[in-house]
Structure 1
Amino acid sequence: MKTALKSDVGLIRTVNEDRAVVQNRLNGFTLAIVADGMGGHQAGDIASQIAIDTVKRELQNIEPGMSPEECGQRIADAVRKANREVFEIASSQEQYQGMGTTIVVALVSDELIIIAHIGDSRAYKLDDEFMIQLTEDHSLVNELVKSGQISPEEANSHPRRNVLTRALGTDEQVEVDLCIDAWKQEDVLLLCSDGLSSLLDDGQITAILRSGEELQSKANLLVQSALQAGGDDNITVVLLANVQADDEEKG
């Protein structure tokens, strides 16, 4: 598995509340997580860090022989535990009231992608034909798009595009969406915060991912393109490429 990660504070914000992690060789899997925190007084970066740390810790003993459904349940349980931890801190400490975070978690093997997510951070899969979005945004504008009140193009510039309908840590209980999908050699998985997906359309993202650049250069180019498009939010990108071990780059 080849991986790349890039995060940038953007051109407007003073604090990067995004967090991301990639862990290779986790009992036969690769784990990747992106979280986009929210909350005043730097509480957002605390929420996203707690979420990442908790999910990663809870998945350290995942077993290679587990079925995809069992793996999905384990990931969902880890995300729910992270939700409780963030919610308890937000409820007990006044300066952290209302903090929360999005999260998108990918646990991948050579054949399967297992995704859990809450919020509007996304997962995309690029194969030799298409790029498809594996997650559905838990956001107000997505509800408006689904009901036909606004177009997908209008959603990207809507004044309430940052309003979430579901987040990690803002309520005691939360529903976790799961997706299990196959992938094959040379396919690429992209996890990102909305600082990327709200500024670049699918065609722009696909063009960069299909370029001849190395994987880390593609991650850098995605972030740079979002900065050039306005950079009005934190931008975080994680890329995973399904390649043979002997093709894998060091680093």
Structure 2
Amino acid sequence: MKMAYRSDIGRIRLVNEDRAWTEQTDTDLVVAIVADGMGGHQAGDVASQLAVDTFREALQGTPSTLTLDERKILIRQAILQANEAVYDMASRNKQYHNMGTTVVAALLQAENGVIGHIGDSRAYKWRDGVLSQLTEDHTLVNELVKSGQITAEEAVNHPRRNVLTRALGTDELVEVDVRGIPWAPDDLLLLCSDGLTTMVSEEQISQTLQEDELDLDAKADRLVSLALQAGGDDNITVVLLHHADDTEQEE
């Protein structure tokens, strides 16, 4: 497995409220998470860091013998534990009132994987030249598109495109979307915050991922650079996981 992780504050924001973590465990499980925090007075970075830390602790020591269904339960439980931790801190501290975060996470084995998410941070899979979005944004504009009130093109520049319908930590109870995915040699998984996807088109992402002369780190750098060139309106975080024989991680 090859892994690359990049995060950039962008050109507008004063604080990077994105957090991410990825690791290949001793049992050959690959775990990754991206969280995009929100909340005033730097509460967003507190929320995203707490979510990542809680998720990581919940998955420590996970055996590789778990079935796909067991890993679905595990990733849901880990994200719900993160929700509980963030909600509890926000409830007990006035300065963190209403803080929250998006989350998109992956738990991968050799043949398959599990994706869990809340919010509008996304997961994509790249296989055989085709980019597939694995997550569905929990946003107001996505609900409007699904109901036919606006078009997908109108959603791109909609004034309320950043309004989430679901986030981690803002409510005591939250629903986590979880799905299993096939995971085969040479597949590539992209986890990212919306600082990438609001600035960079899926066509540009595809063009970057198919560049054979770029290694995984260079592809992550290219994606962040494209978002910055397009304006860098938000923090940008990219995690790339490549189903390859050798193992390396660059940060």
- TM-score category (smaller protein): over 0.9
Taking a change above 3 Å as real, the CA distance of residues 90 and 143 of structure 1, as seen in their structure-2 partners, is same
Query: How many aligned residue pairs are there?
Result: 249
For residue 140 of structure 1, what is the aligned residue in structure 2?
140
Calculate the aligned-residue CA RMSD, in Å.
Answer: 1.1
For residue 82 of structure 2, what is the aligned residue in structure 1?
82
Q: Is residue 12 of structure 1 aligned with residue 12 of structure 2? A: yes
Taking a change above 3 Å as real, the CA distance of residues 204 and 250 of structure 1, as seen in their structure-2 partners, is closer
For residue 215 of structure 2, what is the aligned residue in structure 1?
214
CA offsets 1:150-189 (integer angstroms, 9 cap, x no match): 2222222111111000000000011000010102111100
Instruction: Tell me if structure 2 keeps the 8 A contact 1:6–1:223.
Output: yes
1:249 Cα offset (Å): 4.6
For residue 227 of structure 1, what is the aligned residue in structure 2?
228
Instruction: Tell me if structure 2 keeps the 8 A contact 1:189–1:241.
Output: yes
Which segment is superposed worse, 79-88 or 151-160?
Answer: 151-160
CA offsets 1:192-249 (integer angstroms, 9 cap, x no match): 000001111111100001112000000000000001111100000000000113xx45
Instruction: Tell me the TM-score normalized by structure 2.
Output: 0.97
Instruction: Tell me if structure 2 keeps the 8 A contact 1:26–1:60.
Output: no
Separation (CA, whole Å) in 1 of partners of 2:129 and 2:215: 20
Separation (CA, whole Å) in 2 of partners of 1:77 and 1:249: 28
Q: Is residue 163 of structure 1 aligned with residue 144 of structure 2? A: no
For residue 38 of structure 2, what is the aligned residue in structure 1?
38
Instruction: Tell me if structure 2 keeps the 8 A contact 1:28–1:109.
Output: yes
For residue 109 of structure 2, what is the aligned residue in structure 1?
109
Instruction: Tell me if structure 2 keeps the 8 A contact 1:156–1:199.
Output: no
Instruction: Tell me if structure 1 keeps the 8 A contact 2:83–2:172.
Output: yes
Instruction: Tell me if structure 1 keeps the 8 A contact 2:4–2:249.
Output: no
Separation (CA, whole Å) in 1 of partners of 2:57 and 2:41: 26
What letter corresponds to residue 220 of structure 1 in structure 2? D
Taking a change above 3 Å as real, the CA distance of residues 177 and 250 of structure 1, as seen in their structure-2 partners, is closer
Separation (CA, whole Å) in 2 of partners of 1:116 and 1:26: 22
Structure 1: tracts of 5 or more residues without a match: none
Separation (CA, whole Å) in 2 of partners of 1:84 and 1:250: 30
Separation (CA, whole Å) in 2 of partners of 1:198 and 1:121: 10
For residue 23 of structure 1, what is the aligned residue in structure 2?
23
What letter corresponds to residue 177 of structure 2 in structure 1? D
1:129 Cα offset (Å): 3.7
CA offsets 1:71-113 (integer angstroms, 9 cap, x no match): 1101100110110110011011100000000000101112112
Separation (CA, whole Å) in 2 of partners of 1:41 and 1:250: 33
What letter corresponds to residue 236 of structure 2 in structure 1? I
SS at match of 1:123: strand
Instruction: Tell me if structure 1 keeps the 8 A contact 2:124–2:133.
Output: yes
For residue 173 of structure 2, what is the aligned residue in structure 1?
173
Taking a change above 3 Å as real, the CA distance of residues 87 and 26 of structure 1, as seen in their structure-2 partners, is farther
Instruction: Tell me the TM-score normalized by structure 1.
Output: 0.97
SS at match of 2:36: strand
For residue 192 of structure 2, what is the aligned residue in structure 1?
192
For residue 91 of structure 2, what is the aligned residue in structure 1?
91
SS at match of 2:25: strand
Taking a change above 3 Å as real, the CA distance of residues 250 and 148 of structure 1, as seen in their structure-2 partners, is closer
Taking a change above 3 Å as real, the CA distance of residues 220 and 250 of structure 1, as seen in their structure-2 partners, is closer
Give percent identity, aligned residues only.
55
Separation (CA, whole Å) in 2 of partners of 1:26 and 1:135: 28
What letter corresponds to residue 237 of structure 2 in structure 1? T
Instruction: Tell me if structure 2 keeps the 8 A contact 1:219–1:238.
Output: yes
1:250 Cα offset (Å): 6.6
